[in-house]
Amino acid sequence: MSELPAVSVVIPTFNRAVYLPASIDSVLDQSFKDFELIVVDDGSTDNTQGVLKRYGSRLKCLYQPNGGASAARNLGVRHARAPWIAFQDSDDLSTPTRLETLIAYVREHPDCGMVFANGGYVGEAEHRHETIIPASKSRQLEANGVTVVDLFEKSIARLQASIISKAAYESIGGMDESLHICHDLDLFFRLFMRYRVMYLDRLVFFYRTHPGNMTGNEELRLTENIRVIEKLIHDYPEAHDQIGKNLVARRLAYRYYRLAKGRWRLNRREAARQAIQQATRLRPGYLKYWFYKIHWDCINR
């Protein structure tokens, strides 16, 4: 083993003491051993500290007042000594060969900024798929390569399935700590636009489905998704042409429409009107959005 580790594994955690031991153990049991494990406690109020103490020197523990997953991940990266970063969520599991699989690939392709693969489920599979990326799509992505268009059409990348160059991560400014839900998508967009990103048709982690990882804040999810897309187009105008202006407009308009519907249900009528106005501006020829705009405008303010 070299003096510096080849990979730094960063696990941010907040009140996940019940799941954390299994997640940590899945990293410590890797077939590839040249890594360090950094766990960032993001202000937990449960028994997280007690869990971490049991591991002693096998991992590095960091603590911060609750600042969100993006801030916790950035803190972990700042303390990472390795040239490659592997993130893991504290309720998920790595396969025993996750690091071996990903580090072998980046050593053969050192020009990559990120490599990611597929994942499975612990608990009930979503949408009846056995893997996060359906098997046929996974084979296609490996054969044809991945582009920002693939990421835009469907959020296919998962932090838990990736290994990222620390130099690339730092060069794009790390994670946007003002984002609470869509910080990973924002990071991926910037990596895709600046670096070579590759995909492997391999299963390297298991996503644990449970009520605690389902966000109920649809307003925040939609507004952040809109913000991330608009940020991408603003910061990388060439993405507009790569993705296609019509596809960008459709995707943004649909999110504004969903936002408008949610606000109307909550009786936030003026905010709903503002959102549906944005949807009609983006897709002026789409009658469905105009129907809601005209209908809502006719209702007394």
pLDDT (tens place) for every residue of the chain, 301 residues total: 458 999 999 999 999 999 999 999 999 999 999 999 999 999 999 999 999 999 999 999 999 999 999 999 999 999 999 999 999 999 999 999 999 999 999 999 999 999 999 999 987 655 557 899 999 999 999 999 999 999 999 989 999 999 999 999 999 999 999 999 999 999 999 999 999 999 999 999 999 886 665 456 899 999 999 999 999 999 999 999 999 999 999 999 999 999 999 999 999 999 999 999 999 999 999 999 999 999 999 986 6
* Residue pointed to by tokens 């991945």: 146
pLDDT of residue 1: 46
Please provide the size of the chain in residues.
301
Contact 20, 49 (CB under 8 A): no
What are the structural domains of the chain? 7-213 (3.90.550.10), 218-298 (1.25.40)
Question: What DSSP character marks residue 195?
Answer: S
The SS3 call for residue 89 is: coil
pLDDT of residue 155: 87
Neighbouring residues of 184: CB distance < 8 A, sequence distance ≥ 6 = 157, 158, 159, 175
pLDDT of residue 209: 81
Q: How many CB atoms lie within 10 A of CB 144?
A: 10
* Residue pointed to by tokens 């020009």: 111
pLDDT of residue 128: 59
pLDDT of residue 212: 62
The SS3 call for residue 82 is: coil
